[in-house]
């Protein structure tokens, strides 16, 4: 493994770990980074697979942070009785968490459509794809500013437990748009949830939980496709995947905690302005360089 390539992989892991959970499009950032600072000595198939598979490491961070909120089995231990009988283990189900997972499953149903959209955009040239990323960064940046400026009503849904199954399905339908490069899966689901009257905190949490099956599925699909196309990872590529995943996991721990603390006190306007600024820079780069 070349030192410069390792630095690029570390940078990709940092970008993935931070931007995966912020509403700024991690995939868009990864594509842009690889466009302007491309990896060498790796196959195109590996790059396409790498950008998705290191998301599994980012997902693991959510599982670690929210373990008590997402693990549905209730484990209880009886106390010693008067005869000194040893403790007895009892297992049960946490109904509120099961209900949350049912909402997540319902929201995942429309995700099948995203596969068709992803296939469509995967055939674009790098320049066209970059132009689309620029446009979607700006478009949804403006959307965040508009929603946060004009949507001043008190949220009707302040907890995920108050979210109906119908609204969960609507959020899942909106998530399909994330298949367009530069959209941001977390960004579009948060936007959709805000428009439905969900609080910022509940919207962010549901987005995190929805990411678990969605991103595991997309990563598994890319990994399976990689091997079904008879690709083989070289030793350096395996090393790159491990390094990128470790970095993405570490940075995701920070990013998830940061966003949950941030939305308790602030709105999403700063991310809207960031998206517009980055989109404009990318567009100008395409036009004049």
d(CA 145, CA 259): 18
Q: Are the beta carbons of 121 and 132 closer than 8 angstroms?
A: yes
Query: Which residue segment(s) compose the domain that 59 sits in?
Result: 3-76+95-288
Domain-located, residue 83: no
Domain-located, residue 87: no
Domain-located, residue 86: no
pLDDT value of position 80: 56
Number of domains in the chain: 1
pLDDT value of position 89: 67
Domain-located, residue 209: yes
Digit-coded pLDDT (tens) for 67-93: 999 998 887 766 555 565 555 667 788
Q: Are the beta carbons of 39 and 234 closer than 8 angstroms?
A: no
Domain-located, residue 52: yes
pTM above 0.85, yes or no: yes
The region, left, alpha or beta by phi > 0 then psi within -120 to 50, assigned to residue 84 is: left
pLDDT value of position 197: 95
pLDDT value of position 83: 60
d(CA 253, CA 255): 6
pLDDT value of position 88: 64
Closest CA to 46 of 235, 247, 226: 226
Digit-coded pLDDT (tens) for 258-275: 999 999 999 999 999 999
Segment 48-72 shows an average pLDDT of: 91
Tell which wins on pLDDT, 52 or 240.
240
First to last CA, the chain: 31
CB atoms within 10 A of CB 232: 10
pLDDT value of position 3: 84
Residue whose entry in the numeric block shows the structure tokens 């959709």: 192
d(CA 110, CA 176): 7
Domain-located, residue 200: yes
Digit-coded pLDDT (tens) for 162-207: 999 999 999 999 999 998 989 999 999 999 999 999 999 999 999 9
Range list of H helices, the chain: 3-19, 26-36, 44-53, 55-65, 67-70, 95-108, 111-121, 126-150, 165-175, 185-195, 200-228, 235-262, 269-288
Q: Are the beta carbons of 255 and 187 closer than 8 angstroms?
A: no
Domain-located, residue 89: no
Percent of the chain exceeding pLDDT 90 equals 58
pLDDT value of position 149: 93
DSSP state of 182: T
SS3 assignment, position 84: coil
Domain-located, residue 13: yes
SS3 assignment, position 277: helix
Digit-coded pLDDT (tens) for 103-142: 999 999 998 888 778 777 777 888 888 899 999 999 999 9
């Amino acid at each position: 493994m070349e030192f410069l390539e390792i630095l690029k992989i570390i940078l990709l892991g940092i970008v993935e770990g931070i931007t995966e959970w912020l509403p700024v499009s991690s995939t868009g950032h990864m594509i842009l980074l690889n466009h302007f600072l491309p990896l060498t000595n790796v196959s195109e198939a590996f790059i396409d697979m790498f950008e998705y598979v290191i998301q599994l490491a980012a997902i693991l961070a959510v599982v670690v942070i929210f373990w008590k909120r997402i693990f549905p089995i209730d484990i209880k231990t009886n106390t010693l009785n008067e005869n000194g009988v040893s403790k007895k283990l009892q297992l049960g189900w946490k109904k509120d968490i099961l209900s949350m997972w049912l909402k997540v499953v319902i929201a995942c149903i429309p995700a099948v459509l995203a596969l068709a959209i992803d296939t469509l955009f995967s055939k674009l040239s790098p320049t066209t794809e970059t132009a689309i990323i620029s446009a979607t960064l700006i478009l949804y940046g403006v959307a965040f500013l508009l929603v946060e400026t004009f949507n001043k009503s008190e949220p009707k849904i302040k907890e995920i437990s108050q979210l109906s199954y119908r609204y969960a399905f609507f959020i899942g339908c909106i998530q399909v748009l994330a298949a367009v490069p530069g959209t941001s899966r977390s960004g579009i689901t948060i936007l959709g949830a805000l428009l439905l009257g969900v609080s910022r905190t509940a919207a962010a949490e549901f987005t995190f939980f929805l990411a678990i099956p969605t991103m595991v599925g997309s990563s598994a699909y890319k990994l399976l496709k990689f091997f079904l196309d008879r690709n083989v990872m070289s030793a350096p590529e395996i090393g790159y995947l491990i390094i990128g995943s470790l970095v993405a996991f570490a940075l995701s721990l920070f990013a998830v905690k940061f966003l949950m603390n941030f939305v308790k006190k602030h709105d999403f306007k700063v991310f809207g302005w960031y998206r517009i600024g980055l989109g404009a820079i990318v567009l100008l780069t395409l036009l004049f360089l």
